Amino acid sequence: MLKNEEIFYENESPEMMKELSALGKLTAHTPVDFKPEIIISFLKNHSLKNKWIEANPVLAQLMISSSFATKHIESLFDSSRGKKDFLLAYESYITAQLT
């Protein structure tokens, strides 16, 4: 469980880093349109905007099919609810790894 004052440090989450690396490799062939937004939104809230699905149906379908190991990535999202600084840093890290 995260404390309110905690900030995100990727090296404290090695399993998440492994999952994100694998996810990046498995989605490398997909178009870049809304890629970070699709991945973050799906792993965080299990939801996607229609315009993202229309712009990048290949990636949207991959995410919806749940063909990735993302337990640790999603667990950090669950633990960070209401912790704005942590969440902002975590999402920025994910975006940087996927672009």
CA angle 75, 53, 23 (to 5 degrees): 40
Contact 59, 28 (CB under 8 A): no
pTM for the full predicted model: 0.89
The pLDDT tens digits for 46-76 are: 999 999 999 999 999 999 987 789 999 999 9
- pLDDT for 5: 56
Contact 94, 32 (CB under 8 A): no
